[in-house]
Amino acid sequence: MFKILKKEYLANRIWLMDIEAPRVAKHCLPGQFVIVKMDEVGERVPLTICDYDREKGTITIVFQTVGASTERMAAYEAGESFRDFVGPLGRPSDLMTEPLEEVAKKKILFICGGVGTAPVYPQVKWLKERGIAADVIIGARSHDLIILEKEMEAVADTLYIATDDGSYGFKGNTTDMLNELVLNRGISYDHVVAIGPMIMMKFVCLATKKLGIPTVVSMNPIMVDGTGMCGACRLTVGGEVKFACVDGPEFDGHLIDFDGAMKRQQMYKTLEGQALLKYREGLTHTGGGRGCGGDR
């Protein structure tokens, strides 16, 4: 059993929880995710790791209530426990595995929106702890939907806030803010990491491709099962079939077929759509659960 040590409401049906999971905390790195199961009959819920404390043995998760399982999860209180908390899964961020001297040479910008702010935070924090600066853009429709602002401000070199309605910070979306920084303010970036809603990542990548900035995105929004068995997170990257949960979740954003991924995501929401995808994709429908580890 994995005890909930802290529960906090952030905004817009978004919750933060600290979970006692020492084995996961000992081995995880930014960019990876966990699978939470509330009880023996509960659904498996993949969630990216927002933070971790190896000494305390805790993992911080952030999730938004979008269905029955996450609604049930939000009903849990501090002191209660989850049945399973499996991880770390997926591959760590490339910035965490490259030689530090190479990463330090880059001018890095993180762009995040919505719940995507959560998996960006541990990456920026990890870099700061090693003396590497990174700028961050947090985007949302309005001021009241911004999450983790204070936490991000403490680790970012410069934090920019963009709201669609102009109620806080820069008026415009994250792509508008990116163009403002590069085209109008003359800031040059060598590397961009974008995490957020699929449509946001698509337009950030279109912009960075024009600007000639290498861009990495996290495709965790399309994961369902988290082991490569369900086939939900199948996507095309550079003409090749990949599975976000076992091959990612991070990929070269300029190589992803976003339109195909978004269309497939919509189809996967219905049983008829799932059946059609299985029929069309045959033996390549799933990733076969390859590469998955876990806290067993």
Q: 9-19: per-residue pLDDT in tens? A: 999 889 999 99
Q: Note every long-range contact of 4-7, with CB atoms under 8 Å and residues 24 or more positions apart, other chains counting.
A: 4/76, 4/77, 4/78, 4/79, 4/80, 4/81, 4/82, 5/58, 5/78, 6/78, 7/76, 7/77, 7/78
Q: What is the pTM of this model?
A: 0.83
* Inside any domain, residue 273: yes
pLDDT of 178 above 90: yes
Q: Does 92 sit behind a cis peptide bond, omega within 30 degrees of 0 on the bond before it?
A: no
69 and 47 within one domain: yes
Last residue of a domain, one of 54, 89, 124: 89
**β partners of residue 3:** 81
Strand 234-237 to 159-163 pairing: unpaired
Confidence of residue 285 (pLDDT cuts 50, 70, 90): low
**Is 293 domain-assigned?**
no
Same domain, 152 and 236: no
For tokens 């070269």, what's the residue? 252
Per-residue model confidence as pLDDT tens digits over 26-45: 999 999 989 898 888 777 88
Confidence of residue 258 (pLDDT cuts 50, 70, 90): confident
Residues 106 and 212 in one domain: yes
First to last CA, the chain: 12
Q: 217, 223, 212: which is closest to 188 by C-alpha?
A: 212
Instruction: Provide φ and ψ at 66, rounded to 5°.
Output: -130, -10
Residues constituting the chain: 296
Confidence band of 277 (pLDDT split at 50, 70, 90): very low
Which pLDDT does position 293 carry in this prediction?
37
pLDDT of residue 188: 96
- Looking at the structure, tell me whether residues 112 and 209 fall in a common domain: yes
Question: Residue 279: its pLDDT value, please?
Answer: 45
Q: φ, ψ for residue 109 (rounded to 5)?
A: -130, 125
Percent of the chain with pLDDT over 70: 84
pLDDT on residue 19: 96
Which residues form the domain of 208? 99-218
Pair (188, 258) in one structural domain: no
Same domain (yes/no): 119, 167 = yes
CATH number where 180 lies: 3.40.50.80
- pLDDT score of 70 more than 80: yes
Question: Counting runs of H as helices and runs of E as strands, what totals does the chain give?
Answer: 11, 16
The reply to whether 123 and 161 lie within a common domain is yes
Reported as a single tens digit per residue, the pLDDT across 121-159 is 999 999 999 999 999 999 999 999 999 999 999 999 999
Buried residues in 209-222 as b, exposed as e (16+ CB within 10 A): eeeebebbbbbbbb
| Number of domains comprising the chain | 3
Residue 245 maps to a domain: yes
User: Looking at residue 242, what is its pLDDT?
Assistant: 81
Residue 295 lies in a domain: no
pLDDT of residue 159: 98
* pLDDT tier, 266 (very low <50, low <70, confident <90, very high otherwise): low
pLDDT tens figures, 184-231: 999 999 999 999 988 999 999 999 999 999 999 988 755 555 555 566
What is the C-alpha to C-alpha distance for residues 247 and 180, in angstroms, rounded to an integer?
33
